[in-house]
Structure 1
Amino acid sequence: MNSVIDTILSHRSIRQFTEQPIEKQQLDAILQSGIAASSSSLLQVVSVIRVTDPKKRQALAKYAGNQPYVESAAEFLVFCIDYQRHYQMNPQVKPEFAELTLIGAADAGIMAQNCLLAAESLGLGGVYIGGLRNCAKEVDELLELPPYTAVLFGMCLGHPAQQPDLKPRLPADVIVHENSYQPFQAQQISDYDAKMHAYYANRSSNQKQSTWSQEVTTKLSGESRPHIMGYLNGKGLNKK
């Protein structure tokens, strides 16, 4: 249809990068694209920390679950909820409400996706690093985040050194509902599981015999970072 849609539909998570740096002009354009993203009520409650210190990169790679590309990517950005500047402007601001935490998380996701799409449009690649929340408190201390500011996720960016296969997504008729929520259709999921089983078995790296249902059941059937509530509360967020 057009180059924007082509870029979106060709998205792949890139975890292997060349040693080539990202030009300053490109990085500026990527960050400005993020800043231009939609913001709820123009609150602008996101901060981005560009991590260039090699020792901090090494520590973040460890905190994220020993993901080496955090250390090796040309750029690593950390996206944070940030109500600190709003509170500094006026202490009447009440960052502790859960709705404001949701706004911060939603706005950060929108901003980050703008950054990634801009990077991909320039021939670069990247991957989100939610694993930073494995050690949220340690990451927070490393980056010296103030109260009312909390780490959400990171993003690796660089020149791709791989071209992974496109990962199949759930079909639109599963995700898109009209007028009301549509009943669950087991056959639709079964059909998608067959596609994912073939994808996992045939991809060029990390081959496995599994389906989407099996993967998400494993992911969602246990505790999921139970320390996060305490972390957010300790930062003055998500209390009410």
Structure 2
Amino acid sequence: MTFPNETLNVIMNHRSIRKFSDRPVDTATLEQIVSAGQMASSSSHVQAYSVIAVTDPERKAALAEMCGGQAYVRECPVFLVWCGDLHRLKDAAARYTPELASYEGSAENFIIATVDTALAAQTAAIAAESLGLGIVYIGGIRNRIAEVSQLLELPDLVYPVFGMCLGYPDQSPMSRPRLPVRAVLHMNRFDAATADRELEPYDETMVQYLSERTNGTKDTPWTRLMADKLTQPARPHMREYLRSRGFKLE
């Protein structure tokens, strides 16, 4: 399917890439991609994020194991660790207003840093895809987040939000169907009835997609997948980890 301009073509043809060619990502290209990410909107211009580009094979191998044994973390040319970063804001407060209390570890600032990081990363992802590269996000970076932080020598108030494999694609996977736009777009007020009606046909779409992708070995509806996901505890260590890194979350 084609769209009215090249930007929409890039966005609407996104695929998660988990197999990469041996072609390296040169430093100039990497810096261009991250610079594009920096053009994303940022709350009050705080730019509360940092990104660590890991190219060292031993460090990538260690991170792959910490992420749950995901081979593509080890095999991709560059593994980016996108971090929420309020460390530099704390330093700014200490420099200019040492006599005042600062609230860099508040719940609001945690949200700001996490959102800033996501906006920058997704903008960088679109930039990368426009240049012919591919990406896949790695939430598994939070599986053993304290060990990741130690490996990457992160200071207090800097925390990994997610990883991102980056490289030139060596596969062309199917596009995963998204929820119908009417399931997520509400006009003037939240319309639960209309949104809920869209879920049944979407389940049918996902059953067909999974069956085709897995040669018939999987055909679970999306709503069942989500129900199963929400009945399993997910990374319960995160709260204590964040508190240990200087976030009071109050």
Q: Please give the range of the TM-score, normalised by the shorter of the 2 chains.
A: over 0.9
1:115 aligns with 2:127: no
SS in 1 for 2:137: strand
Q: Is the 8 A contact 1:101 1:238 kept in 2?
A: no
Q: 2:140 aligns with which of 122, 131, 134?
A: 131
Mapped to 1, the partners of 2:106 and 2:149 lie a distance apart of 20
Q: Is the 8 A contact 1:31 1:115 kept in 2?
A: yes
Q: Is the 8 A contact 2:54 2:79 kept in 1?
A: yes
1:220 aligns with 2:230: yes
Q: Is the 8 A contact 1:164 1:204 kept in 2?
A: no
User: Could you say which residue in structure 2 is the equivalent of 1:178?
Assistant: 187
Instruction: Report how many residues are paired.
Output: 240
1:162 aligns with 2:198: no
Identity score, percent: 40
Q: Is the 8 A contact 2:110 2:247 kept in 1?
A: yes
TM-score by length of 1: 0.96
User: Shift of the alpha carbon at 1:22?
Assistant: 1.3
Q: Is the 8 A contact 2:55 2:77 kept in 1?
A: no
AA partner of residue 20 (structure 1): R
Structure 1 residue runs of 4 or more that deviate by more than 2 Å after TM superposition? 89-93, 184-187, 204-207
Mapped to 2, the partners of 1:232 and 1:121 lie a distance apart of 35
User: Could you say which residue in structure 2 is the equivalent of 1:12?
Assistant: 15
User: Shift of the alpha carbon at 1:25?
Assistant: 2.5
Mapped to 2, the partners of 1:137 and 1:3 lie a distance apart of 41
1:199 aligns with 2:209: yes
Q: Is the 8 A contact 2:51 2:82 kept in 1?
A: yes
AA partner of residue 156 (structure 1): C
Mapped to 1, the partners of 2:246 and 2:193 lie a distance apart of 38
User: Could you say which residue in structure 2 is the equivalent of 1:105?
Assistant: 114
User: Could you say which residue in structure 1 is the equivalent of 2:153?
Assistant: 144
1:73 aligns with 2:83: no
Q: 2:200 aligns with which of 190, 207, 226?
A: 190
User: Could you say which residue in structure 1 is the equivalent of 2:30?
Assistant: 27
User: Shift of the alpha carbon at 1:93?
Assistant: 3.1
217-226 or 85-94, which deviates more: 85-94
AA partner of residue 73 (structure 2): V
User: Shift of the alpha carbon at 1:179?
Assistant: 1.1
SS in 2 for 1:90: helix
User: Shift of the alpha carbon at 1:87?
Assistant: 1.2
Mapped to 2, the partners of 1:197 and 1:7 lie a distance apart of 26
User: Shift of the alpha carbon at 1:151?
Assistant: 1.1
Mapped to 2, the partners of 1:125 and 1:214 lie a distance apart of 29
Mapped to 1, the partners of 2:229 and 2:209 lie a distance apart of 19
AA partner of residue 246 (structure 2): G
SS in 2 for 1:236: coil
Q: 2:241 aligns with which of 221, 231, 235?
A: 231
Specify whether residues 25 and 207 from structure 1 end up closer, same or farther in structure 2 by C-alpha distance, changes over 3 A only: farther
TM-score by length of 2: 0.92
Unaligned 5+ segments in structure 1 are none
Mapped to 1, the partners of 2:207 and 2:87 lie a distance apart of 46
Mapped to 1, the partners of 2:197 and 2:103 lie a distance apart of 47
